[in-house]
Amino acid sequence: MSVIRKEIQVKLQEIFVDLFDDDGIVISNDTTAKDIDEWDSLMHITLMVTVEREFGIKFRAEEIGQLKCVGELIDLIVERKG
């Protein structure tokens, strides 16, 4: 994993712990909404808005709906941060 991807994953880890209020959450590239009980459609939007704010980026609506796992989210952040 590249340094940039690792830094993004560390920041996302902090975001997930804060948003889901669960210090036990550990994310990986393969983590999906099915892995976290509270990750429903409303929390998905909250998560995306928080990620946009924290990383200073914007996602298109279709991108948000197509994300399947944390690894894809990291890819999208890397692409946006370019």
Query: How is the chain split into domains, by residue range?
Result: 3-81
Overall fold of domain 3-81: 1.10.1200
Q: Is the pLDDT of residue 32 over 90?
A: yes
Q: Are 14 and 27 in contact (CB under 8 A)?
A: no
pLDDT at 81: 87
pLDDT in tens, 45-74: 999 999 999 999 999 999 999 999 999 999
Which of 69, 82, 62 is closest to 12 using CA atoms? 69
pTM of the prediction?
Answer: 0.93
